[in-house]
Structure 1
Amino acid sequence: MSSTATEDSQAKLLRATYDVGKTAIYAAKVDPRFHYCLYVPPQIGPETELVVCVHGTSRTSFLDFRDGFAEFGRWKNCVILCPVFPIGPLGDGARSGYKYMQEGEIRYDRVLLGMVEEVAAKYGRQWDKFAMFGFSGGGHFTHRFAILHPLKLWAACIGASGSVTLLDADRDWWVGIRNLKEVFGIAFDREALAEVPVQMLVGDADLETWEITHKPGGTYWMEGANDAGRTRPERMDALRKSFEAAGVKVRFDLVPGVAHSRMLVIDRVQDFLAGLLHQKRGA
């Protein structure tokens, strides 16, 4: 066998081992402080869609989501992208920067979009739009990403966000969106957001408040920080009402008997996304 043939054979073996199925973890070219892993179905074609799943504060759920969505990705012909936003990328041990989209010079929405571009180029696709699911801290990220970039999404599934940004033009970010243009250089596009199918999920037993109650002096304290409600179900319901008032159609799943458990809601997320995929591909 020639050296060229041997190299080709090794390249195919490496790709099959690390780039297909449940992949290795990669540093993002857009900013190597951040990483991602994937589930990639055996064959990728024009109908292959992208679903982004965003972890919570513990960061461990990125692997739960990759593995938990693997069967869905295989049989629904989707690539699953799970970003990893580590604690303390600025060296300060901060846990929650990604949830609010901006931390120092880091714009997490741009990092995610860079990951999407990188993965699309690697697998020969162009995903102008993708679906996004996030739970807990990932729910923070998902609904704020939808507010900033509705034109990038064909679905947004928002799970159990501990704090919510309401579409309130009388309050500043992050409680409201009055100064969105000043903070992010992005004007709020109400019409585009209204075109995004949205699912919101939270367990009716998800009632712990110790981690989600903002207090004066806290990093993300501001007036109105706790006004959306005391518990996650109350805050998610406030987010639902805010989105619906802006013309967004929301499927709201208050899951009976479930506390703060990501793995007990992903079947509902997959059901929602499967229905949308059927509509997209049928059209």
Structure 2
Amino acid sequence: MLTGKTPFFAYTLDPRFSFGLYIPPAHSFEPTAPRLSLLVVIHGTRRQTGGTLTHLAPFADKHGLAVLMPLFPAGIIDPYDVHNYKHILYRGIRFDEVLLGMVGQAGGVWRVETERFWLHGFSGGGQFAHRFLYLHPQRLHGVSIGAPGGITHPGVQHGKWPAGLEDVEEVFGIKVDFEEMARVKVQLVVGEKDTDGSALEKDDKAGTNRVERARYLQGGLEEIGVSSELTVVGGVGHDGVKCLHTVEGWLNNRFSEHNFK
């Protein structure tokens, strides 16, 4: 039960939240065994996790990679709410701190690296992922930001959170470290046909659909000195699983460049 596709485990500090993992079967629990690199994947609004973990299993086996997928349930506090985690802070809940607590808890059970990890999120998960980058770049090797529908521009002149970073220190007690952000490897990925903006909140600056908003975010990152790679996946709409091969290719290149997993 502790290797392969695991059960979902309660987050012990707040059991409203849970997380599941994929752990390569070759993983050793011996205290002297090497630690697995960690990829954290953040789900979208529909909270569908199984297909993503299944798809990533062969890649994880090949690279000796643990995959952790949190479950941030809809209906926390407000029974009709489905968006809670996307802006990181929701009615007193700090979803960044919940995630970091899960990573620490996993590190106490499995031999996984917890100081720095890789992060990917698609759709609502892409919203979370790029905002987590602003708050905790020192915890990331790299981040893959998939098709975010809402964008926080990294420039302080773009307003208060979540539109911009003007009041981040007041809201989160964190000073944004642009130099550390520039060290993190960043991928932006979106489907070529992800052009239906009918479900998006209006944002004339960011664009009318997710392709335009990915480009807007890339431009914002460039303004503050953070380089990124943008991949528009041909023939694909708003489908996170169909974009995973592009994420795997990007990760594989990063692993090869830096001789670490």
Short-chain TM bin:
over 0.9
Specify the alignment match of 1:57 in structure 2: 45
Give the residue type in structure 1 aligned to 2:143. A
Larger CA deviation: 26-35 vs 123-132: 123-132
Question: Secondary structure at 1:38's aligned position in 2?
Answer: strand
Q: Is the 8 A contact 2:87 2:131 kept in 1?
A: yes
SS at match of 1:181: helix
DSSP-derived class of the 2:165 partner: coil
Matched, 1:71 2:71: no
Inter-partner Cα distance in structure 2 for 1:72 and 1:84: 21
Name the structure 2 match of 1:110: 97
Structure 1 contact 154–196 (Cα < 8 Å) conserved? yes
C-alpha distance in 1, partners of 2:183/2:248?
20
For the 8 Å contact 1:19–1:40, the answer to whether it is kept is: yes
Q: Which residue of 1 aligns with 2:206?
A: 228
User: In the alignment, which of 147, 163, 167 is matched to residue 160 of structure 1?
Assistant: 147
Q: Which of the pair has more CA radius of gyration? A: 1
Q: How many residues align?
A: 255
Matching residue within 186, 195, 201 for 2:183: 195
- Letter of the 2:222 partner, please give it: E
Cα distance in 2, alignment partners of residues 30 and 271 from structure 1: 35
Q: How far is the alpha carbon of 1:282 from its aligned partner?
A: 5.7
Which residue of structure 1 aligns with residue 4 of structure 2? Answer: 21
Distance (whole Å) between structure 1 residues aligned to residue 79 and residue 155 of structure 2 = 31
The structural deviation recorded for 1:190 is 0.2
Matched with 1:38 is: 21
Of 183, 193, 199, which residue of structure 2 is paired with 1:211?
199
Deviation beyond 3 Å, 4+ runs, structure 1: none
- Give me the CA root mean square deviation: 1.4
TM-score scaled by length of structure 2: 0.94
Residue in 1 that maps onto 2:123: 136
SS of 2:108's equivalent in the other structure is: helix
How far has the Cα of 1:47 moved from its partner?
5.0
Distance 1:211 1:63 in 2: 24
CA deviation profile, 1:26-79 (whole Å, cap 9, x unmatched):
11112110111000012244252000011000001x212211111111111010
Shift of residue 255, structure 1, vs aligned partner: 1.4
Alignment equivalent of 1:271, drawn from 234, 245, 249:
249
In structure 2, C-alpha distance between the alignment counterparts of 1:280 and 1:46, rounded to whole Å: 18
Q: How high is the TM-score relative to the length of structure 1? A: 0.87
Change (3 A) 1:282 1:161: closer
List aligned pairs for 1:81-120, cutoff 5 A: 81-120=68-107
Which residue type is aligned with residue 192 of structure 1? Answer: E
Stretch of structure 1 that moved more, 225-234 or 40-49: 40-49
| TM-aligned CA deviation for residue 248 of structure 1 | 1.3
Note if contact 2:138-2:180 (Cα within 8 Å) is conserved in structure 1. Answer: yes
Segments of structure 1 that go 5 or more residues without pairing to the other structure are 1-17, 215-224
